[in-house]
Amino acid sequence: MNSGSKVLLGVLAGAATGAILGVLFAPEKGEETRRRLSEGSRDFTDNLKEKSRGFADAAVDKFEAVKESAAGLVEQGRAKASSVAGGVKSAASNVASRVSGGTGSHPGTTGLGAGISAAGSNITE
């Protein structure tokens, strides 16, 4: 709860307390006093309901904004991961082609080149 909400709640509580004390100490008949208390409590309840609806609406709006922002971040993460996977696959292909290209000068490289090519072809996005 932020400080603005606390101040508003304090003002409402103070107003309700003042109204109740004012009615209780006013020189009126008991029936009139009960009627005024009832009206005051009804007004206070209506005001409190209105404020809580506003608070709930603001919370829903904030939640929706955060949810949309999170969805955007997830999409950015997926795009970045796809880009990185493509780069790794490309690099693996380059290494495989370099290694398999030098098979005549180094004995046994054919197996290494074939293994790297197979590893590079198994990388998916």
Q: What is the largest CA-CA distance in the chain?
A: 114
* pTM reported for the whole predicted model: 0.40
Q: Give the per-residue pLDDT at 77.
A: 92
Q: What does the block give as tokens for 75?
A: 């999409």
Q: Position of tokens 């101040």?
A: 7
Residue 80: pLDDT band by 50, 70, 90 thresholds?
A: very high
87-101 confidence digits (pLDDT tens): 999 888 888 888 887
CA nearest to 55, candidates 4, 12, 109: 4
Residue 14: pLDDT band by 50, 70, 90 thresholds?
A: confident
**What is the mean predicted confidence (pLDDT) over 49-76?**
90
47 neighbors 15 (Cβ within 8 angstroms): no
What rounded mean pLDDT belongs to the chain?
78
User: At residue 123, what are phi and psi to the nearest 5 degrees?
Assistant: -75, 125
